């Protein structure tokens, strides 16, 4: 998903717009996680960017979207750019436990 969301819009409460943006992002992440992963992969990971526009967007973790949106709202941005790209990922290998013999 690559999308520009309006934070300030005439005749609309900006608090409600912010909540609708957060809701749409959560809904998208939930829908992507529900998709079946390709063979050999364990879960979906996300490459995420956030900023005023696509050129100034910076990389963030998907859990930080709500904080970033709140920050943009408090700084009175008129719009924000959100990019979320889903990619399959594998769980990291756990090291085998070595049993000590007495």
Would you say residue 43 lies in a domain? Answer: yes
pLDDT level of residue 102 (50, 70, 90 thresholds): low
Would you say residue 102 lies in a domain? Answer: no
Would you say residue 94 lies in a domain? Answer: no
Number of domains in the chain: 1
State residue 59's pLDDT score: 97
Would you say residue 96 lies in a domain? Answer: no
Residue among 54, 75, 65 nearest 28 (CA): 65
pLDDT level of residue 77 (50, 70, 90 thresholds): very high
Q: Which of left, alpha, beta for 40 (phi over 0: left; psi -120 to 50: alpha)?
A: left
Give the whole-angstrom CA distance, residue 101 versus residue 68.
52
Half-sphere exposure of 43 (CA within 13 A, CB side): 6
What pTM, to 2 d.p., does this model score?
A: 0.85
Which domain, by its residues, includes 34?
2-89
Give the whole-angstrom CA distance, residue 35 versus residue 20.
23
Give the whole-angstrom CA distance, residue 84 versus residue 10.
27
Would you say residue 58 lies in a domain? Answer: yes
State residue 95's pLDDT score: 79
Would you say residue 8 lies in a domain? Answer: yes
């Amino acid at each position: 998903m690559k999308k520009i969301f309006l934070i300030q819009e005439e005749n609309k409460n900006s608090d409600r717009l912010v909540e609708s943006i957060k809701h749409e992002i959560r809904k998208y992440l939930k829908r992507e996680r529900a998709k079946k992963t390709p063979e050999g992969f364990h879960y979906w990971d996300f490459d995420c960017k956030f900023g005023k526009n696509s050129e100034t967007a910076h990389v963030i973790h998907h859990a930080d979207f709500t904080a970033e949106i709140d920050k943009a709202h408090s700084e009175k941005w008129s719009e924000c750019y959100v990019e979320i790209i889903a990619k399959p990922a594998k769980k990291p290998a756990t090291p085998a436990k070595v049993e000590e013999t007495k």
